[in-house]
Amino acid sequence: MSKKTAIILVAIAMALLLAAASARAQNPTASGVINATLVNKNGISLVFDTDPAGVTLGASGTSAASLDFGTVSAFGPLSSGVTRPTVTATNYTVTTIFDVMVEQGGLNSNSYTLSANLAAAAPTGFTYQVDAVTLTTGAQNIQTNGTYSTDIAHNLSLVISTAAPGAGGPAVGTPLTTTINFTATAN
């Protein structure tokens, strides 16, 4: 074979290779397989909502809301949404209402139990209650048959001693901050 013929054959082969590559580039295809595993986890969530009859919650619609009773006393005006259901010779109570909504997914549960506890002991002269259940640092059941996906109203009460400071009563004029932990457990 002559050198000229060899060059022509190489040129033809290159043209065919380029044409084949060009034809493939116009309709590229690829295929693959992913073997995926999905683990569906069950869960439960608790959300605090402002009740129309109660104090407007800070961060309403979340699981970490705040509630401000404002300035309270045995007599005199109270903040909107706060009531004073009792005043006795030894103490008075201020109350507001708030809502709890518990959602569940992937559970075989028709109801839940709601419990609450104080994160730290209540200061002298103060007693916290949720729905008349006195709170301590140990968990107390508030509700045992809560309905999922429904705002359920609960009352938060603060019972304040009228005794003098140092005699079992609270310090006067001092802002009070307390954390109450709530837990919803599927039944």
∠ at Cα 142 (148, 43), nearest 5°? Answer: 35
- pLDDT at residue 24, as a whole number: 54
For 160-183, what is the mean pLDDT?
91
140-170 confidence digits (pLDDT tens) = 999 999 999 999 999 999 999 999 998 999 9
CATH at 133: 2.60.40
The total domain count for the chain is 1
User: Closest by alpha carbon to 98, among 44, 59, 156?
Assistant: 156
3-state SS assignment for residue 75: coil
Domain that holds residue 76: 46-186
**pLDDT grade for 16, boundaries at 50, 70 and 90:** low
24-79 confidence digits (pLDDT tens) = 556 677 777 777 776 667 889 999 999 999 999 999 999 999 999 999 999 999 99
Residue 35 lies in a domain: no
